[in-house]
Structures are given as C-alpha cells and as structure tokens.
Copies of this chain bind each other. A is one copy, B any other.
Amino acid sequence: MMPDELTERVIQGDRRALARVMTLLESDDPKGNATWRAIYPRTGSAYRVGLTGPPGTGKSTLVTQLARRYRRADQTVGIVAVDPTSTLTGGAVLGDRVRMGGLAEDPGVFVRSMASRGQRGGLANHTAAVVDVLDAAGMDCVFLETLGVGQEALDVVGETHTTLLVGAPGQGDEVQAMKAGLLELADILVVNQADRDGASALANAWRWVLKGNGGGGDVIWVPPVIETVATTGQGVDEVVKALKEHRFWLINGKGWDQRAERIAGGRVLGALVEHLLSKVQHDSTDSGLWEELVADVVARRLDPVAAARRLTKKVLDEH
C-alpha cells in the first residue's frame, strides 16, 4: 500500500490498514510516521480514557467490561494496552485479553497490545500515535491501559481526557504507596476485586485522602471512588456513569480544551525531542564528533553537559 492509500483506509476504519500502520509505527518505519502525520488532522473527536494501576488489579478485565457496555450503547471502542512486562521481548501478545471478552469478532472494537519501548521517550511517542490512529479511524472512545508504576503512570494522564486509577485490596505496598500524589491526578478511582477482604477499607482510605480536595463549589470535580468486581460486572455500570459525568463536566467547563492542549503539547514535545536528537546525532555521527566526545567523557576529559553543548554548537554553527 502507498502511504496515501494507507491513510485513506485508516480514516475509513479498515482493520487491516489499522494493524499495518500500528506495526509500522512500532518498528519505527518512516512510512508509519508519514501516515501518522497524514491522519493527524482527522483526530480530535475520540474520547480518550486512561486506566492505570499496579499489576494484578484487574485492569484488563475492567477495560473489557467497559468496552462491552460502550458497544451496547452503539459506541465504537479502541483499546491500547501497554504491556511493560514485555518491554524487552520486543513484542506483546494479545493473550486472553481478546478471547476473554468475546470482543475479537466485533468489528466495532479494535484492540492493540504494545510492548513499551526502550528508547527515551519512545513509549509515549509510539503509544500516542497508536491512540491517534484509532481516533482518526473514527473510534468514539479509546481506552489506554498502562501499568501504574514509574513513568507510564504519568504518561497516561498527559494523553487522555479522563484517567481512571484502578486498585485492589491486598496489593500491599504497591497500592499503599500510591498515596496522595497519584490519587490526586486521577479523575475516577476504582477499587476492583471488591469481593475480597479489605476492599471497603481501601475505598474508605482513598475517600479520606481525597476529602477536602473538592468542595470549592460546583465547578470542582470530586473524583468518585467506585467499588467493582470486574469479573462479574458488579459496579461497572457505575464506572460508565462516572465516565459520562466526567466527560460532561469537561465539555461544560474549560477542562476539555485544557486537556486537548495538554495532549497536543505533549505531542509537540515528543516530536521535538525526536527531531532534535536525530538532527544532532546524525550530523555528529557523520563527522565522527559523537564518538570523539563520548571517548572524552569516558576518559573524564569532558563532562556530559560540556559534550552536549559542543554537539549543539556544531549543529547550530553549520546551519
């Protein structure tokens, strides 16, 4: 397929074209990037929802349940799952995710698992582009699921309109440690596996931490804490309701525009890092300067900042 044809077919929602461009993006093929740029003007209408939380809290099951309910309301759904445990295997497997939900045969659902990437900033750039592709393909809602530890937990907040934090009782340190900070960034809090001991204690603890955050009048969003059992579907309707309310709240206030700006700013920053790095590294690798400066840093004749400045200066001077 030529890039133009691929772009056209992505916009039409052609599933093979979607899979193709995602593979191109993951493998850093320039055609993937070109297609992403071409479809970018067609993005901006999907509702982007992030789900983040520690491993083993049932995020995938919850996403599947949410997707089913959106489908019942005739909404098309994209799911992007970043699989950080597969970081270094170079690929992620759909596994039980699709089979489980019986969503694989539904043409109104598109699921993509991605391995998180090794490059600096690579994860965010690739993941963001894949979400854009689903947006351009006309998905009404795109769920982005990431492991809520480390860098990925923050990335998801910067990529979405609404962020769900998913916890579960008995996860010990991992859940306990996500204290005030992460809770404050989430828009909706879900205590999954609520049929287990300790679920209401966790929900109450979260409510206690969040108390006082809202309350400043009706324009403030107070993040609800919802208990669910994703495996049986218990409480999932409440999450759907909270998503609707949050979206409504965003659109009726300044939230929607602010988050669209945040998402766009993140995209520009990502593109900027990639562009500048490739420019500087390309120029300096050709001239042997990169190797020379790294050797100087190894020998401690130069510190890394001084080396970075020399690299930058060279590119600027030669412009």
Residues of A at under 8 Å CB distance from B? 33, 37, 40-44, 54-56, 83-90, 116, 118, 120-121, 123-124, 147, 149-154, 172-174, 177-182, 184-185, 257, 260-261, 264-265, 267-277, 279-280, 293-295, 297-298, 300, 303-309, 311-312, 315-317, 319
Copies, count: 2
- Partner of A298 from the list B33, B185, B260, B303 (CB cut-off 8 Å) is B260
Q: How far is the CA of A118 from the CA of B265 in the complex (A)?
A: 15
- Partner of A297 from the list B84, B267, B306, B307 (CB cut-off 8 Å) is B267
User: Can you list 27 pairs linking A and B with CB atoms under 8 Å apart?
Assistant: A37-B303, A40-B300, A44-B300, A54-B55, A55-B174, A84-B149, A84-B150, A84-B151, A86-B179, A87-B182, A88-B154, A89-B178, A89-B180, A120-B124, A120-B269, A121-B121, A149-B150, A264-B294, A264-B297, A264-B298, A267-B297, A272-B311, A273-B276, A274-B308, A275-B309, A276-B308, A317-B319
Task: Verify A294–B265 contact, CB threshold 8 A.
Answer: yes
- Among A151, A153, A172, A181: residue with most chain B CB under 10 A: A151
Which residue of the partner chain B has the closest CB to A270? B304
A264 neighbours in B (Cβ, 8 Å): 294, 297-298, 304
